[in-house]
Structure 1
Amino acid sequence: MASDRSYGARLALSGEAGCWYPERWTLDGPEPYAVPLPAAQPEEPDSELLPLADGQVLIHRQVAGHHAFSLLYPTGPGTGERPLGGIDRAEVSLLPPAPGGLCAFALGRGPRSTSIWLLFGGGVLAPQHLAEVPGRCTGGSWLDRTGRLLALDRELDGRTKTVVVDLRRGGETSPLLQITERSDDRLLLADPDSGLLLVRSDAPGEQRLGWGVLGSTRPVRFPDCLRPAGWSEATPFAVQPGQVLTPEVCAVAFRIDGRGGSGAGAGRPWVGVWRPSERRLCEFPAPEGWLPGAGLWTRDGELRLPYATPQVPCGLARVRPPGAVGAV
């Protein structure tokens, strides 16, 4: 989804031809609607999409080992495409939507280091190399509203720790997560408004979900309610915005995989909702056709989950979990 939650994008499968094509979803109106953006040829199912706040969709394609980027946009009955150039790295992945929604970034992983690239925005005409970070970096979370501070999970010397990369100081890095010297610590989600951080670490002796606060001296906490209980893994995907400096009441939505049982929710992911101030994880079946891991919170505590079924090809389920707290 775009950083301002106005648009989403996905690869859809044509029922007639069996081909993949990009589809843009408009999410900020009374009802969601989809606009197909088919290119001249079908897309590969591993192509990445990044919706921008102006309605354009950036696509990342891999062709014969070359990573190419283009902007897609509707032009009457067809699709316009603006090539942005490419990157020659073994592995390239898009970073999450940047603050402001009008810039796009990517990671390029090499054998000993990871490069950070500006693909679009700021007047660049081709991918611009911004920084080189020693080690293999994955993940990616923005820690501020200006697009300056980027958190990455860096594997170096056999350990994974989260570091902060300052993009305005040539990629200068500083540690963010180092729970113990020998633990593997990863940042899963960060919220610049409240400062809430969701982490996964083996510091407690096994892989656990925990939370902390950006800039706080208090240790990371690992709530018992976020330990697997009837499910195999929980992954946070959305944080309630607007909870300025109040991380304890900030609602977090999780995708829950591996949950057993029968009935309406059997065979598909569940959704969990949790707040640091509460000692329970509220679980419920995801709507049929949910696009797993996609969703957004409103400032007043409504969770919106996009879904697609044969009957409703572009839908948005609206859920108000118990204990919803409005923005302060």
Structure 2
Amino acid sequence: MAGGDEPMTVCAIESAAESTSVSGPEITITADGAYAARLAGEGEDLYPERWTLDGPEPYAVQLPLAQPEERGTDVLPLSDGRVLIRRSVAGRQLFSLVYPTGPGTGELPLGGIETASLVLLPPSPDGRRAYALVPGARSTAVWLVVGGAFGPEHVAEVAGRCSGGVWLDRTGRMLALDREQGAGGPVKAVTVDLERGGETTALLQIAEGSDDRLLLADPDSGLLLIRSNAAGHDRLGWGIMGSTLPVRFPESLRLPDCAVRPFAVQPGQTLEPERCGVALWIEGAAGSRLGLWQPSGGRLRQLAAPRGWLAGTGVWDARGALRLPYVSGGRGECGLARLDAAGLFAREAAARRNGVQGVQGAQGVQGAQGVQGVPGASPAGETGPGRTGETGPGEPREARRPVPLQQAPLMGRKGLG
């Protein structure tokens, strides 16, 4: 990285009109940020591509096989550098591991599952296993597709139709799923214990009839990013794992003309959820933009995305730098844009302590373009002790009910880091 040990800022120096994002397949990054994988290529000539991200410079290795991959094939990286491929063939889901072998590509078939529909879960925190959801008429099966002794293994059956998938610890034991309650009923996030046969407990209950989904979780701090329509429309909120405090719905995260999705949380903020940085993908008429937000700051900072960003993907490193994968050039060369997000948050916090309303980031980082918080609100975006933050008039009182996280088997956060 240029400039010594400090992460080099290469994004947020273009105007929103000049910012571009890559259309097509997204990229999936391992939980430790060491590898990534995507389906690359053009037209019908598609192949897996593995990125190595933990070296001095990122580089990509193409992993073509004898036949090109079908569009819609899933790829998922493992921490040992192999890439899982999921192919749909005649009502079956087939799995293989591919890896570079000198000038060619090696492939290890793993077997398959008899089902027409299957969804791979995000990479397991341990990096060695991979899981999938198979929906049924009255329940959803959880399958271990990599890491078992004899190919894919059925490990849990969860009542109801489930979607999503967020890991709640660093061992790959506790999984949160969004479960539909009955046909067409509300969706509530539940906790699934994979070491106890899929034992399920409630995780989110904001209002009785609301859809309450978990989007992201950070095991170090306990920070949860939530989407709920308890107010009558979808709002982004945040809560704390194992806490009886209510979910807050900051007004700064409400952008009516844009789709907003959090995709990465700053790790290492042990028991300090308010200080966690959150990266958000903001998609609107002007294209993709990067959002940076912190519960203690309360304001959303919008930045122009790096040119060629694989929108909605990125990872924080241990020093607080946000790394965003992008492709550049006609050949689609891989790269990582680095943003010193922790430094930006620190400068903003210092400005607040000194009574300054805003701070201009160094190294070309743009000023915030997002909606400011409600005047007089606390830094956490709350309107008073024990209240849900920044709810508007006419919103239902149920939105202020606490998250029943204490009902989940994650009461004490000790051991989750």
Q: Shorter chain as normaliser: what TM range? A: over 0.9
Structure 1 residue 272: Cα displacement: 0.3
User: For residue 155 of structure 2, what is the aligned residue in structure 1?
Assistant: 130
Task: Kindly indicate whether the alpha-carbon contact (under 8 Å) linking 1:303 and 1:318 is maintained by their aligned counterparts in 2.
Answer: yes
Alignment of 1:115-194 (within 5 A): 115-121=141-147, 123-157=148-182, 158-194=185-221
Alignment of 1:93-108 (within 5 A): 93-108=119-134
User: For residue 7 of structure 1, what is the aligned residue in structure 2?
Assistant: 35
- CA–CA distance in structure 1, aligned partners of residues 310 and 150 of structure 2: 33
Task: Kindly indicate whether the alpha-carbon contact (under 8 Å) linking 2:216 and 2:226 is maintained by their aligned counterparts in 1.
Answer: yes
Alignment of 1:1-328 (within 5 A): 1-14=29-42, 18-121=44-147, 123-157=148-182, 158-229=185-256, 231-260=257-286, 268-310=287-329, 313-321=333-341, 322-324=344-346
- What is the RMSD of the two structures over their aligned residues, measured on CA atoms? 1.4
Secondary structure of the corresponding residue to residue 91 of structure 1: coil
- CA–CA distance in structure 1, aligned partners of residues 65 and 310 of structure 2: 22
Structure 1 residue 259: Cα displacement: 4.4
Task: Kindly indicate whether the alpha-carbon contact (under 8 Å) linking 2:323 and 2:336 is maintained by their aligned counterparts in 1.
Answer: yes
Task: Kindly indicate whether the alpha-carbon contact (under 8 Å) linking 1:89 and 1:110 is maintained by their aligned counterparts in 2.
Answer: no
Q: Deviations over 1:61-111 (max 9, x none)?
A: 111221111101000111100111111223201111111101111111112
- CA–CA distance in structure 2, aligned partners of residues 153 and 258 of structure 1: 26
**Aligned AA (1:273):** L
TM-score norm. by structure 1 comes to 0.93
Q: Deviations over 1:14-48 (max 9, x none)?
A: 4xx75111100000011100000112111112111
- CA–CA distance in structure 1, aligned partners of residues 220 and 298 of structure 2: 22
Structure 1 residue 233: Cα displacement: 1.1
Secondary structure of the corresponding residue to residue 323 of structure 1: helix
Task: Kindly indicate whether the alpha-carbon contact (under 8 Å) linking 1:302 and 1:324 is maintained by their aligned counterparts in 2.
Answer: no
- CA–CA distance in structure 1, aligned partners of residues 276 and 55 of structure 2: 25
**Aligned AA (2:320):** G
TM-score norm. by structure 2 comes to 0.73
**Runs of 5+ unmatched residues, structure 2:** 1-28, 348-417
Task: Kindly indicate whether the alpha-carbon contact (under 8 Å) linking 1:183 and 1:202 is maintained by their aligned counterparts in 2.
Answer: yes
Task: Kindly indicate whether the alpha-carbon contact (under 8 Å) linking 1:89 and 1:109 is maintained by their aligned counterparts in 2.
Answer: no
Which one has the bigger helix percentage? 2
Structure 1 residue 324: Cα displacement: 4.9
- CA–CA distance in structure 2, aligned partners of residues 252 and 103 of structure 1: 26
**Aligned AA (1:208):** R
Which one has the bigger strand percentage? 1
Greater Rg, structure 1 or structure 2?
2
**Aligned AA (1:143):** L
Structure 1 residue 148: Cα displacement: 1.0
Task: Kindly indicate whether the alpha-carbon contact (under 8 Å) linking 2:44 and 2:71 is maintained by their aligned counterparts in 1.
Answer: no
Q: Deviations over 1:237-281 (max 9, x none)?
A: 111111111110100101101143xxxxxxx31110101101211
User: For residue 263 of structure 1, what is the aligned residue in structure 2?
Assistant: none
User: For residue 265 of structure 1, what is the aligned residue in structure 2?
Assistant: none
Q: Deviations over 1:120-142 (max 9, x none)?
A: 11x42210001111111111011
Q: Percent identity?
A: 61
- CA–CA distance in structure 2, aligned partners of residues 155 and 18 of structure 1: 36
CA gap 1:301/1:259 in 2 versus in 1, 3 angstroms:
farther
- CA–CA distance in structure 1, aligned partners of residues 279 and 70 of structure 2: 30
Task: Kindly indicate whether the alpha-carbon contact (under 8 Å) linking 2:174 and 2:192 is maintained by their aligned counterparts in 1.
Answer: yes
Structure 1 residue 145: Cα displacement: 1.3
**Runs of 5+ unmatched residues, structure 1:** 261-267
- CA–CA distance in structure 2, aligned partners of residues 43 and 106 of structure 1: 20
How many residue pairs get aligned? The number is 314
